[in-house]
Structure 1
Amino acid sequence: MAVPAAAQTPQRVVTLNLCLDQMALRLAAPGQLVGVSYLSQDPHLSVLADRAAGLAAVRHSVESILVLRPDLVILGADGHASLKRLLRGAGVRLLELPWAASIGEAELVIEQMATVLGREEAGRHLISGMREQRRRLTWTGPPLGTAVYLEANHGTSGKGSLMDELLRLSGYRNLAAELGIGSFGRVSLETVLSGEPDLLVLDGAANENPARATEFVGHHALLALAGKAKLASVPSRYSICAGPDNFEVLRLLAEARR
């Protein structure tokens, strides 16, 4: 990707992806970011919902974007081909960035975004802070056993997922990965119980509005297992996107193992 000249530094930026929103909200200069995806204003999904509330909420429609008169739109490299074609046709510059599935990949995306925004120093500062937190919070002792992450609809995160990385950094083997489950999969209650994990990691907000889809994470059998295993409540907003928010997961898991 070519580095733009200083004269090309964008003044009115729109982001169209929850994870890219979170990065831009931290990197952009005051007044530089004028619109973010509507998802970033949902406090269940976005750690920076309060900050995002002061900006225009954008959906994937060319009309909602062009009304903001952006000189740069930042969006994911995959998908939305028709929207991208319309925006290019309207003369809007695009920055397409890849999905970051790990903390290391998030650092690369932050670096690219910061360069295009003309905010290289802010990018270096953000990445430096992430590396320091990773150094400080990574478990360096002997393995602590197995852990499993559970969310609504029997969902779990297996091999190659961001949660898999976070569990390993916290000193745990991921039960779902050991069972051969991929990045995003499903696991039965019986499988969890028979696996006898040492740590249960539950979506801390899953049962705020109880429904059949979420009853799994509060099942009485899991609560009985919690008498033998440690329990960590981790709101999903800290692990949806790879980036600075992931270190809150490491802090919560560190508290659970005490």
Structure 2
Amino acid sequence: MRRLLPLLLLLAGCAPAAGQRGGGIVSLNPCSDQLLLALVPAERIAAISHYSQAAGATSMPLDVARRFRTTGGTAEEVIALAPDLVVATSYTPPATRAAFERAGLRTLYLDSPTTIAGSKAQVAVLAAAVGASGQGMAINARIDRALAEARWTGAQVPALLYISGDLATGDGTLLHEMMQMAGLRNAAADYGLALTGTLPVETILAHPPALILRPDAEGRTAAIRRRLLARTDAGTQEVAFPRELINCGGPTIPAALARLATVRRQVAP
């Protein structure tokens, strides 16, 4: 109990008195960061997650992200800001949730959608929570238009989509569904990979995909894979897939679908 007392006192000190909220919205995840930016004016956002200011994690331009205050997601930081709404994730630790509740903060916990329909539903939920249902409907309408424009009805081309390094996206992911919509069969799913994970080079060499999509061409593993594939007669093509299109759904979906559709149109039927 003695060890807990300093933290409890700190949280009590951070808790806003009645009628003394700082206002605004605090987001603790890069995906809700970029969705909020599409839903509400910048002045309503009190703070975003520190991940959005990291090149490998953000889903918004870094120069935009750096205009906002950030937090590391700790209860102390968030409570001190006294926001009107905290947008957190379903992975938020129970102790942090309890601290938010004790401080009387209005909090919305969002999961990580693995389907386009789930992502659209999340857009609607957050839009309603921030009083921007019209903007949420507009985002979802753009997603529907992008789906119609990207939809491929011909033969699918086997492709691997790497998230970073040797980490590939498999079955049961949002990117997997988008690949299918755009006419790219997810080779990682054919290899038996669910969600995300690594694939042995031997597996890829035994059944090379027609395409490899990757956010960058650097790294020892990628270089080895590229060199070994070049020795086969598979003719695997490697194309860029921007990192900012990988991490999130929502407003990112139209651009991701457009890129996937462009890649599919550029390969032989």
Give TM-score, length-normalised by structure 1: 0.85
Assess, with a 3 A threshold, how the Cα gap between structure 1 residues 145 and 30 changes in structure 2: closer, same or farther.
Answer: closer
Report the CA distance between 1:31 and its aligned residue: 1.3
Equivalent positions of 1:59-208 (< 5 A) are 59-140=72-153, 142-152=154-164, 154-203=166-215, 205=216, 207=218
Assess, with a 3 A threshold, how the Cα gap between structure 1 residues 162 and 223 changes in structure 2: closer, same or farther.
Answer: farther
Q: Percentage identity across aligned positions? A: 24
Question: How big is each residue's C-alpha offset from its partner over 1:97-127, in whole Å with a ceiling of 9 and x where there is no partner?
Answer: 2221122111111101111101111111111
Report the CA distance between 1:202 and its aligned residue: 1.7
> What is the rounded CA distance, in whole Å, between the counterparts of 2:104 and 2:165 in structure 1?
43
Assess, with a 3 A threshold, how the Cα gap between structure 1 residues 197 and 129 changes in structure 2: closer, same or farther.
Answer: same
Report the CA distance between 1:139 and its aligned residue: 1.6
Amino acid at match of 1:198: A
2:65 is equivalent to residue 58 of structure 1: no
Q: Find the partner of 1:33 among 45, 48, 52.
A: 45
| Kept after mapping to 1: 8 A contact 2:23/2:82 | no
| Kept after mapping to 2: 8 A contact 1:151/1:214 | no
| Kept after mapping to 2: 8 A contact 1:156/1:186 | yes
2:42 is equivalent to residue 23 of structure 1: no
> What is the rounded CA distance, in whole Å, between the counterparts of 1:166 and 1:181 in structure 2?
16
> What is the rounded CA distance, in whole Å, between the counterparts of 1:31 and 1:110 in structure 2?
20
- Aligned equivalent of 1:4: none
Amino acid at match of 2:107: L
Q: Find the partner of 1:243 among 220, 225, 250.
A: 250
Q: Extract unaligned runs of 5+ from structure 1.
A: 1-9
> What is the rounded CA distance, in whole Å, between the counterparts of 1:105 and 1:226 in structure 2?
40
| Kept after mapping to 1: 8 A contact 2:229/2:236 | no
SS of residue in 2 equivalent to 1:133: helix
Question: How big is each residue's C-alpha offset from its partner over 1:10-60, in whole Å with a ceiling of 9 and x where there is no partner?
Answer: 951101111111111111234111111001122332231332211111112
SS of residue in 1 equivalent to 2:212: strand
- Aligned equivalent of 1:7: none
Quick check: 227-236 or 88-97, which moved more?
227-236
The number of residue pairs the alignment matches comes to 243
Question: How big is each residue's C-alpha offset from its partner over 1:160-189, in whole Å with a ceiling of 9 and x where there is no partner?
Answer: 112211221121221111122111122111
Assess, with a 3 A threshold, how the Cα gap between structure 1 residues 185 and 29 changes in structure 2: closer, same or farther.
Answer: same
| Kept after mapping to 1: 8 A contact 2:71/2:77 | yes
Larger radius of gyration: 2
SS of residue in 1 equivalent to 2:250: coil
Assess, with a 3 A threshold, how the Cα gap between structure 1 residues 144 and 99 changes in structure 2: closer, same or farther.
Answer: closer
Assess, with a 3 A threshold, how the Cα gap between structure 1 residues 88 and 226 changes in structure 2: closer, same or farther.
Answer: farther
Amino acid at match of 1:78: Y
SS of residue in 2 equivalent to 1:148: strand
2:247 is equivalent to residue 234 of structure 1: no
| Kept after mapping to 2: 8 A contact 1:230/1:256 | no
Question: How big is each residue's C-alpha offset from its partner over 1:78-106, in whole Å with a ceiling of 9 and x where there is no partner?
Answer: 33211111111112111112221122111
Amino acid at match of 1:123: G
